[in-house]
């Protein structure tokens, strides 16, 4: 795993959590929709609506557990990455790496926050990645 892949782990995990949260919203909406139909009369031979609600609730609980596990892992990954970033000598490089990989900010915002144009921010980022690579080799 190269330096950029190592640092990007938190961003990808955060996106995965957000995706699962969207899925959870969809399941909850579905459970509410199916639950609202419980007052309708059951047609002989039709599907058991209650079992659909139970299945949906079980899926919601399973997905909530997955999300909680992912959040725990995200906290651990961010702590590890932050520890690695803190070993970088240049404070500007640290800020760039933290803003980009821990806080998930876009390049325009990162550059603006440190007072650089975007090309200068990219150059500083490249230099910081080289230092991260050296740090990871020592670990």
Here the tokens at position 1 are 């795993």
Range 105-122 average pLDDT: 96
Range 116-126 average pLDDT: 96
Range 91-111 average pLDDT: 96
Taking a C-beta distance cutoff of 8 angstroms, is the pair 27, 60 a contact?
Answer: yes
Here the tokens at position 94 are 């640290």
Burial class (CB in 10 A: 0-12, 13-18, 19+), 87: middle
Range 112-129 average pLDDT: 96
Range 61-74 average pLDDT: 97
Write down the pLDDT at residue 49: 52
On whether the pTM is more than 0.85, the answer is no
């Amino acid at each position: 795993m190269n330096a950029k892949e190592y640092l990007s782990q938190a961003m990808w995990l955060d996106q995965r959590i957000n995706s699962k949260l969207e899925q959870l919203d969809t399941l909850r909406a579905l459970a509410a929709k199916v639950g609202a139909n419980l007052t309708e009369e059951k047609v002989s031979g039709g599907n058991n609506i209650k079992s659909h609600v139970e299945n949906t609730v079980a899926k919601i609980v399973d997905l909530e557990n997955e999300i909680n596990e992912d959040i725990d892992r995200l906290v651990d990954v961010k702590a590890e990455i932050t520890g690695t970033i803190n070993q970088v000598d240049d404070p500007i490089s640290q800020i760039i790496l933290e803003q980009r990989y821990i806080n998930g900010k876009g390049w325009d915002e990162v550059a603006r926050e440190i007072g650089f144009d975007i090309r200068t921010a990219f150059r500083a980022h490249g230099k910081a990645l080289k230092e991260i690579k050296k740090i990871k080799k020592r670990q």
